[in-house]
Structure 1
Amino acid sequence: MGNRDALIEAAKQCLTDRGWARTTVRDIAFTAGVNHAAIGYHFGSRESLLIYALVEAVEELSDTVADKARDGTPEERWQALIDTFGTHRALWIAQLEAAVQAEHSPELRERLAAAQRQGREGLGGSVPLAVLSGLMMQWLIDPDHAPDGAQVVRELRAHATEV
């Protein structure tokens, strides 16, 4: 594995271990086993590397969930997504931290917007993406009282008849 790939993997690990805001150039370089100047050489900045690593990690998670839920019922597909809030909690939190940082970074904002557009497409529209975002917040804050996949589908069906 070359320095560039090592940096990407290290950045993913640091995002998981420390989150967006607390990951430093030194953390990434130490984890990758390279000089911190390699970050600038390969990515230009810590932020660019973290953006790249976050988007790649989310795409990998999305692919895993899609493979797992491809032939499932709606309840099973929602549950597969919900399960990632526990198994990949740190990655979801890193996404929230990145969303806050996007207010100050046009590059980050554009990359997150592109990922959001891709998410809308993959989930089948804006409403499922909004539901997913709301579920994520519920699970991160109060997992003991957050809905499961079956409850999500029941409530979406109930609300659909009201519209």
Structure 2
Amino acid sequence: MGNREALLAGAKRCLYEKGYGRTTARDIATASGVSLAAIGYHFGSKDALMNTALLDAIGEWGEALGAALSDAAYVHATPEERFVAGWDRVLESFVEHRGLWVAQFEMMAYLEHAPELKEALAGAQKDARLGLSALFQGKPEVPDSATELSRGTFYQALVAGVAAQWLVAPDQVPSGRELFRGLQIVSASVLDGA
């Protein structure tokens, strides 16, 4: 592993353990076993490295969730079973990736002062939404369609909301079954009035 990769791995470790704002350049250098000067050489700044680490960690969470949702039992389930099982697996992923979720919510407070991170996250929104739609619904018939984007937007909002609830009170977060029941109730009340 080269210095760049070691720095990125060290920054991700710090992100999970210390958070976004409390990680110093020295913390990253210590965690990676690489000199402080290497941060500037490879990434330009500690903030640029932390932003890269955060985006990379989010991608790793998506890959881990994708792997958890790709087993045959999940893929061949009914839409209701897939929704319930998928959300239960999302909740399990929060436990494994707790540091990432803490860091993401903490990072939101820095966005107004980190335009490059805000721009990077905004640029990744469409791909994130399409990815979430594919994770929960399976391979789309028309990738990148308005339907897939709308569905992904819904899932993205739900993931963020459930993550926030889980961080505050893990014992009160709704299960996949409870989320499905809530979806049924809201859908019925909205569609009946449409």
Distance 2:180 2:67 in 1: 20
1-structure distance, mates of 2:119, 2:93: 24
Q: Specify which of 164, 172, 175 is matched with residue 148 of structure 1.
A: 175
State which structure, 1 or 2, has the greater radius of gyration over its C-alpha atoms: 2
Greater fraction of residues in helix: 1
Kindly provide the CA deviation profile for residues 107-158 of structure 1, in whole angstroms up to 9, marking residues without a partner as x. Answer: 0101122333322112232121111111011100011111011111121122
1:93 aligns with 2:120: no
Any conservation in 2 of the 1:85–1:92 contact (CA below 8 Å)? yes
Which region of structure 1 is more displaced relative to structure 2, 110-119 or 74-83?
110-119
The answer to whether the Cα contact below 8 Å between 1:55 and 1:115 also exists between their aligned partners in 2 is no
Gaps of 5+ in 2: 75-81, 134-151
Q: What TM-score does the superposition give when structure 1 sets the normalisation length?
A: 0.95
2:62 is the counterpart of 1:35: no
Q: Residue in 2 aligned with 1:65?
A: 65
Give ranges in structure 1 of 5+ residues lacking alignment: none
Matched, 1:112 2:121: yes
Distance across 2 between alignment mates of 1:162 and 1:13 = 45
SS of structure 1 residue aligned to 2:20: helix
The whole-number CA distance in structure 1 between the counterparts of 2:85 and 2:125 is 22
Work out the percentage of aligned pairs sharing the same amino acid. Answer: 42
Superposed CA RMSD in Å reads: 1.2
- 1:138 and 2:147 correspond: no
Match of residue 136 from structure 2 = none
d(CA) in 1 for partners of 2:92, 2:8:
25
User: Offset at 1:95?
Assistant: 0.9
More deviation in 39-48 or 120-129? 120-129
Q: Which AA in structure 1 matches 2:33?
A: G
Corresponding residue of 2:91 = 82
Counterpart of 2:139?
none
Deviation at 1:90, TM superposition (A): 0.8
- Structure 1 runs of 4+ aligned residues shifted over 3 Å read none
TM-score, normalising length: structure 2: 0.80
Alpha-carbon deviation of 1:92? 0.4
Query: Which string of whole-angstrom CA distances, capped at 9 and with x for unpartnered residues, describes residues 53-83 of structure 1?
Result: 1111111111111121135211111111111
Determine which structure has greater relative contact order: mean sequence separation of CA pairs < 8 Å that are 6+ residues apart, divided by chain length: 1
